[in-house]
Amino acid sequence: MTATNPISVALDTPELDRAIALARALKPHVGSMKVGMEFFYAHGIPGYGKLAAVGLPIFLDLKLHDIPNTVASGMRSLMRLDPKPAIVNLHATGGFDMMKAAADAVAGQSKLIAVTILTSLSDDDIWAAGFENSKNAQAHARQLAALAKSAGLDGVVCSPHDLAGIRHDLGRDFLTVVPGIRPADTAAQDQKRVATPEAAMAAGADILVIGRAITGATDPAKAAEAILAGLDAR
């Protein structure tokens, strides 16, 4: 076992019972659970409380993106959750002022991280979305990560492909949370910029967000253990 388990399992389900069952089964095998919008919109604060009672730290992945005042107010509401999420996040493309206002609202009560460029977006996709100056997801992610750090955030969500540049620019102490993880023999599905767990850790990931490779397995606990064994064998 690694000293600190780097796996954050993405409990991407709108079903309360399934989320709780997965969390219980995976508690000994992962470091935290990522709870996203499909769960939170369906079950709200009561569902969050029931899931948190399982006892794993929560990365609340709601990816806020709005004007600074609205995002700061949203963060203040999230800080009233009990227990507080270990990590909350927003989109770095909301800009410096939005990130700074959110960091002031969170005030160290949770780690606050910024999504840079979604791992489901290719260079062509970001071009098509109108980011005309950067038909290059890696360069764009590096720029957004630097902006997030300057606004006082604790870290970023980034693709494994963006890690080396972000580590080079921002050092070892900036938290990197990395989705788009696919063990060697699994399909990329809707993700485009992916890597194996071993490659992502070698590139400097702190936390690996892993969803379907664990939750879609016949035995999720066994799948998580197999990933950890691969990391220990590095």
Query: What are the residue numbers of the active site?
Result: 63
The answer to whether 12 contacts ligand C5P (rule: CB under 6 A) is yes
Q: Which is nearer to ligand C5P, 104 or 206 (CB)?
A: 206
Residues, the chain? 234
Q: Where are the beta strands (DSSP E) in 79-204?
A: 87-91, 111-115, 155-157, 175-178
Contacts of ligand C5P in 145-174 (CB under 6 A): 157
Of 37 and 107, which has the nearer Cβ to ligand C5P? Answer: 37
Adjacent-strand bridge partners of 9: 33, 210
Could you say whether residue 10 binds ligand C5P (CB under 6 A)? Answer: yes
Q: Which of 169, 231, 167, 158 is nearest to 201 (CA)?
A: 231
If binding is defined by CB under 6 A, does position 32 make contact with ligand C5P? Answer: no
**Quick check: 191 binds ligand C5P (CB under 6 A)?**
yes
Least distance to ligand C5P from the beta carbon of 193, Å?
A: 9
Selected from 119, 143, 176, 196, the binder of ligand C5P by CB under 6 A is 119
Q: Assess 212 for contact with ligand C5P (CB under 6 A).
A: yes
Query: Minimum distance from CB of 215 to ligand C5P (Å)?
Result: 7
Which DSSP category does 178 fall into?
E
Q: How far apart are CA 203 and CA 35, in angstroms?
A: 25
**Does 36 help bind ligand C5P (rule: CB under 6 A)?**
yes
Q: Which amino acid is at 201?
A: M
Give the 3-state secondary structure of residue 219. Answer: coil
The yes or no reply on residue 13 touching ligand C5P (CB under 6 A) is no
Helix, strand or coil, per DSSP, at residue 21: helix
